[in-house]
Chains A and B, each alone.
Chain A
Amino acid sequence: MDLTSTGTTPTNDIRTPTRTSLRKRASLPRWAPAAVLAAVLGAVLVVQLLTTFNVVTLLVGTALLYIVGIYALSRTVEGRRKATDRLVTAVVTSAFGVALIPLVSVVVTVVGKGLERLDGEFFTYSMRGIVGAGGGAYHAIMGTLIVTGLAALMSVPLGMLTAIYLVEYGRGRLASAITFLVDVMTGIPSIVAGLFAYALFAVFFGPGVRMGVGGAVALAVLMTPVVVRSTEEMLKLVPNDLREAAFALGIPKWRTIVKVVLPTSLAGIATGVTLAIARVIGETAPLLVIAGTTTSMNLNPFEGRMATLPVFSYYSYVSPGVPRDPYLDRAWTAALTLILIVMVLNLGARLISTIFSPKTGR
């Protein structure tokens, strides 16, 4: 600021019409977008009531007409730049709405149909000896927790150590080869992972093998690259300053990684691991191949078939007994349970993030 000038205070100039560059421009009132939307919605609704009513065309038609209407109105009143702003805002908001449709639809359908059997029996009974109504998915819930837990036990250490190697130690050809292979692994179709696990276990236990741990291996194959990728990104976010500060104190490199780098990025890694678990917990195809299904409880992953929620849901739906309805209800409740488990995992990750994320103490 020029301290020597003794000119007039500039505060009122904005409203002075003599300064053309800061002239107050015409603008639509705050309620204008809402009014346009209401008008368009009403018009489309009236037209539809006179002809045929359809929710999809109602929403799509309203959105398209609103975009055109708000642009035209704004163009005439406010000018080109504001109009473009309103156009883009409308398009982006509509896109968000479109993206939200499948999510809302899935949640509404699963909750609506799954609530039917969301009772104590569902969580405490297996399907052993059950024909028709009653029974539950206790065995499948335990199976899913065991298989996914084992998969996490295998892939989280493996993935995290790989990521640590890539970020902290990896130089040259080996590191880029590993990065490339991780990228390739990310794209493996889940059925291929299942067949891989089956082939691996068939070598040791003969053809026709079915084991919970085989499912865990298949899921670990799918999960590891996701863990590597997310951990890698989080480790890269740790500022190099912190590593140098630790080195300059005479702290060995491995301790720097364990005590400084990992705690700093722990919150992000926890989120990444949770997302990786959520990614594989709903896998059906590989478990169908290697873990199979059963109606009774099996808590031993190294012995015999093991039911899991996705497979339970799948079989209940494709080959229901007679009568059909109890089977379909159980399938929907199993799907709802799966969503609930993923939600609990996400909440857990949030909790870990808030507990471990760096604080400023203000």
Chain B
Amino acid sequence: MAKRIDVKDLNIYYGDFLAVEDISMTIEPRSVTALIGPSGCGKSTFLRSLNRMHEVVPGGRVEGSVAVDGQDLYDRGVDPVDVRRQIGMVFQRPNPFPTMSIYDNVVAGVRLSGTRMKRSELDDVVERSLQGANLWNEVKDRLTKPGAGLSGGQQQRLCIARAIAVEPQVLLMDEPCSALDPISTLAIEDLIANLKQEYTIVIVTHNMQQAARVSDFTGFFNIAGTGKPGKLIEMDDTAKIFSTPSVKATEDYISGRFG
């Protein structure tokens, strides 16, 4: 299931504005890669370029290559819809579909991407995904209730269930815990640790402890100043980044001496 991502010489633009410059990194399969760095340094932009969500923004474009198991996502003839089916995403704010029930939210990706399934198969998908997202026990008796009626933490886990229901190869998470309380955050971090067995996970976070807790590899992004492009300063094993980083800026940022 899980796949390896090779990013090579990636420049990301909004129109003429170069937002992120010259990123090269390798994201290992069945691991958690955390991206840290100050606000506005291009972490989220980079993350969105990994499943071509960057193009949804008017003027968004990239140069360079992002290859998943050797296949460049930005090759001519590669359909962005197929890319996003392989590489799922969880957003900062929980965003369940307000018109759909919990059940329909989970199977939305399966159903609306055109796959025909029997009711019993869909039931299996729902149970498996909700259990995978650690939400099954809380909602199994009210699957037909609207997804928007859940608490914030539950909604975010519903969104994770929705993302893993389509069985992607890679799961991108854009600050998935920033709107949640510590207990929900813990639930989601446990979930990430479980999901790692099957998926390649890339997570953007502002929470250094979280990066240290959940990730195997950490990339530190930084920006030279307003209007300048963001850059990948350093990427290494999480243990190494948080103990003996090779770049001074990384150490300053992690130890809170930044700026």
Determine the chain A residues whose CB is within 8 A of the CB of B83 once the complex forms.
250
Interface pair A361/B148, CB less than 8 Å apart: yes
Interface pair A251/B91, CB less than 8 Å apart: no
B172 and chain A: residue at smallest CB distance: A248
Interface pair A249/B163, CB less than 8 Å apart: yes
How big is the A interface, by class? 20 to 34
Q: Which of A241, A245, A259 has the most CB of B within 10 A?
A: A245
Interface pair A359/B146, CB less than 8 Å apart: yes
Interface pair A358/B148, CB less than 8 Å apart: yes
Interface residue? B134 (CB, 8 A) = no
A248 and chain B: residue at smallest CB distance: B89
Chain A 230-263, CB within 8 Å of chain B: the 1/0 string?
A: 0000000001011111111111100110011001
How far does the alpha carbon of A171 sit from the alpha carbon of B56 in the complex, in Å? 13
Interface residue? A360 (CB, 8 A) = yes
Interface residue? B206 (CB, 8 A) = no
Interface pair B95/A239, CB less than 8 Å apart: yes
Interface pair B97/A260, CB less than 8 Å apart: yes
- Interchain CB contact (< 8 A) of A250 among B95, B97, B113: B113
- Interchain CB contact (< 8 A) of A360 among B56, B86, B89, B146: B146
Chain B 77-112, CB within 8 Å of chain A: the 1/0 string?
A: 000011111101101010101110000000011001
Chain A 142-177, CB within 8 Å of chain B: the 1/0 string?
A: 000000000000000000000000000001000000
How far does the alpha carbon of A300 sit from the alpha carbon of B97 in the complex, in Å? 44
Interface residue? B149 (CB, 8 A) = yes
- Given A171-B58, A248-B51: A242 and B95 within 8 A (CB)? yes
Interface pair B98/A358, CB less than 8 Å apart: yes
How far does the alpha carbon of A239 sit from the alpha carbon of B145 in the complex, in Å? 21
How far does the alpha carbon of A252 sit from the alpha carbon of B108 in the complex, in Å? 12
Interface pair A356/B95, CB less than 8 Å apart: no
- Interchain CB contact (< 8 A) of B108 among A243, A251, A356: A251
How far does the alpha carbon of A243 sit from the alpha carbon of B56 in the complex, in Å? 10
Q: Which of A241, A245, A249, A361 has the most CB of B within 10 A?
A: A249
Interface pair B97/A245, CB less than 8 Å apart: yes
Interface pair B166/A250, CB less than 8 Å apart: yes
Interface residue? A308 (CB, 8 A) = no
Interface pair A356/B99, CB less than 8 Å apart: yes
- Given A248-B88, A359-B146, A359-B148: A242 and B97 within 8 A (CB)? yes
Interface pair A246/B148, CB less than 8 Å apart: no
Interface pair A360/B149, CB less than 8 Å apart: yes
Interface pair B99/A249, CB less than 8 Å apart: no
Determine the chain A residues whose CB is within 8 A of the CB of B97 once the complex forms.
242, 245-246, 260, 264
Number of interface residues of B (CB under 8 A): 32
Interface residue? B159 (CB, 8 A) = yes
- Given A241-B91, A264-B98: A249 and B146 within 8 A (CB)? no
Interface residue? B43 (CB, 8 A) = no
Q: Which of B97, B145, B166 has the most CB of A within 10 A?
A: B97
- Given A359-B148, A360-B148, A362-B149: A252 and B95 within 8 A (CB)? no
How far does the alpha carbon of A135 sit from the alpha carbon of B106 in the complex, in Å? 60
Interface pair B148/A249, CB less than 8 Å apart: no
- Interchain CB contact (< 8 A) of B112 among A249, A359, A362: A249
Interface pair A264/B109, CB less than 8 Å apart: no
- Interchain CB contact (< 8 A) of A263 among B81, B99, B163: B99
Q: How far is the CB of A288 from chain B (nearest CB, A)?
A: 43
How far does the alpha carbon of A245 sit from the alpha carbon of B113 in the complex, in Å? 13
Interface pair A249/B145, CB less than 8 Å apart: no
Q: How far is the CB of A244 from chain B (nearest CB, A)?
A: 6
Interface pair A359/B149, CB less than 8 Å apart: yes
Determine the chain A residues whose CB is within 8 A of the CB of B146 once the complex forms.
358-361
Determine the chain B residues whose CB is within 8 A of the CB of A361 once the complex forms.
142, 145-146, 148-149
Interface pair A244/B81, CB less than 8 Å apart: no
- Given A264-B98, A361-B145: A247 and B56 within 8 A (CB)? yes
Determine the chain B residues whose CB is within 8 A of the CB of A362 once the complex forms.
149
B142 and chain A: residue at smallest CB distance: A361
Determine the chain A residues whose CB is within 8 A of the CB of B51 once the complex forms.
248
Interface residue? B231 (CB, 8 A) = no
Determine the chain A residues whose CB is within 8 A of the CB of B58 once the complex forms.
171
Interface pair A251/B109, CB less than 8 Å apart: yes
How far does the alpha carbon of A93 sit from the alpha carbon of B5 in the complex, in Å? 66
Q: How far is the CB of A264 from chain B (nearest CB, A)?
A: 5
How far does the alpha carbon of A82 sit from the alpha carbon of B195 in the complex, in Å? 62
How far does the alpha carbon of A27 sit from the alpha carbon of B83 in the complex, in Å? 68
- Given A244-B91, A358-B148: A250 and B81 within 8 A (CB)? yes
A259 and chain B: residue at smallest CB distance: B112
How far does the alpha carbon of A228 sit from the alpha carbon of B163 in the complex, in Å? 34
Interface pair A252/B98, CB less than 8 Å apart: no
Interface residue? B18 (CB, 8 A) = no
- Given A251-B112, A252-B113, A263-B99: A244 and B56 within 8 A (CB)? yes
The interface of chain B, by Cβ under 8 A from chain A, is: 51, 53, 56, 58, 81-86, 88-89, 91, 93, 95, 97-99, 108-109, 112-114, 142, 145-146, 148-149, 159, 162-163, 166
The interface of chain A, by Cβ under 8 A from chain B, is: 171, 239, 241-252, 255-256, 259-260, 263-264, 266, 356, 358-362
Instruction: Sample 10 A-B pairs with CB under 8 A, ordered by A number.
Output: A244-B91, A248-B91, A249-B166, A250-B88, A251-B108, A255-B113, A259-B108, A260-B112, A359-B148, A362-B149
Known pairs A250-B166, A251-B81, A359-B146; list 6 more (Cβ under 8 Å). Answer: A241-B91, A242-B98, A244-B56, A249-B109, A252-B113, A362-B149
